Structure 1
């Protein structure tokens, strides 16, 4: 069954749960692969973390665990809002191009001579195969769960009011329906260790991004260029809040204590 979560979110949740000993490896594979035929990890050897060439997803995660990794956090940055990314420029550029990435960390990793403080993994999809390419990653500045929650709760009604003023129901009735029924959203499957508050926040973040994407779909010229620009400006805060909510919900570094 296809998950509504992006690949980086699935890897962050299930990979972290496995690194911390909460789930078996086969559950990670089932959750992360989703509708893709294969997932692999490449580039760890070039970073001095052992291995050579490309290895399986579980093999790559196992190598990172041996090196002291215990946390995988997701990033969903876009141009102008690199949320979840902490550099260096090469990693940020690759993550922005892919639209998502994860950052693998662990207290023991920072103690390894010559090893990077964090390892970034960027997914590159070719056909039904996804390869997570490893690159050095810097320390991240993240929104905490409470901050992201408050920002999203504020953005939803503000966006609804702005879209109502733009007569959203005239050109996107399905968007108006979604805004009128914000309590209806699909539940998410999460592994042990993910706080219930983060599961709920991730679901609302996905809902916000879905509303923004739906409202920005091509309307076949039904509105003017000025109306389209006003629509995009109205949706920008909602999309930003949705991305930040998803990053916070999928970044164990800022999860509330169990």
Structure 2
């Protein structure tokens, strides 16, 4: 569970709670993870996260989707502008599907404070397309970095890129498609690899070489974020058998 961002935990376990597959204690235990508490901030003070979810359910929320945008890549968010800006700054957002609301998390010590914002309906991501995009980005990055001799400047990056079976181990509530759990684990793994490769210039001897390495890695990081978003978007999941 610790490998999942807060919005992803809320998407998987919050959806299971909204659909009656788990109880409130299981929801809170899973969403908290290593945190002490999660609250929703507002003009009148903070309220428990579960209370906000119950209110959203009363307003028509049927599931929760997590999206992981970045500057220049809103990842399918449709607004409004203030919500997109907050989500991009945080790097994640949980959409309360059916209620027209979004929750943007902020880590405050060992607590998470969610900001409630309006959200416009967006088309669900295509799970298969996201999976294929991640595989294609991985292959392209591995080939490009091999030409740039990644093994000599970051051997650990080269090893991780070529281990196609690597994935962050994750726990999910019953009813979460196994395909989504697998995709999320691979996306988190490759996103971590991308961040490792982009942590510095890798001892590049020239600005041009550093730029070439970044150009090879950035599409992989984007594909990993989009794959994680698709894996955490119940509106795009395959129908339950």
What range describes the TM-score normalised by the shorter chain of this pair?
over 0.9
> Does the Cα contact within 8 Å between 2:166 and 2:186 map onto a contact in 1?
no
Write the deviation string for residues 187-245 of structure 1: whole angstroms up to 9, x where unpaired. Answer: 21001221111111111111221111111112574543222111110012111111111
Which residue pairs with 2:59 in the alignment? 67
1:98-117 map, 5 Å: 98-106=90-98, 109=99
Give secondary structure in 2 for the equivalent of 1:194: coil
Matches within 5 A, 1:31-46: 31-43=30-42
What is the root-mean-square deviation in Å for CA atoms of aligned residues? 1.6
Unaligned runs of 5+ in 2: none
Q: Unmatched 5+ residue regions in structure 1?
A: 47-51, 110-117
Q: When the two structures are aligned, how many residues end up with a matched partner?
A: 240
Q: 1:250 is matched with which residue: 222, 225, 232?
A: 232
TM-score scaled by length of structure 1: 0.88
SS at the partner of 2:66? strand
Q: Is the 8 A contact 1:119 1:134 kept in 2?
A: yes
Give the distance between the partners of 2:75 and 2:204, measured in 1 at CA. Answer: 33
Asked if 1:160 corresponds to 2:142, the answer is yes
CA distance in 2, matches of 1:131, 1:84: 24
Could you list the runs of 4 or more consecutive aligned residues of structure 1 that deviate by over 6 angstroms after TM superposition?
none
3-state DSSP of counterpart to 1:134:
strand
Q: 1:18 — aligned with what?
A: 17
- Mapped pair 1:145 → 2:130: no
Cα distance change, pair 5–235 in 1 and its aligned pair in 2 (3 A)? same
Please give the residue correspondences for 1:82-97 in structure 2 after superposition, counting only pairs within 5 Å.
82-97=74-89
1:109-130 CA distance string (max 9 Å, x none) = 4xxxxxxxx1011112221121
Match of 2:108 in 1: 126
Partner of 2:29: 30
Preserved contact between residue 168 and residue 188 of structure 2 (Cα < 8 Å): no
Counterpart secondary structure, 1:159? helix
Q: Secondary structure at the match of 2:103?
A: strand
**What TM-score, normalized to structure 2?**
0.94
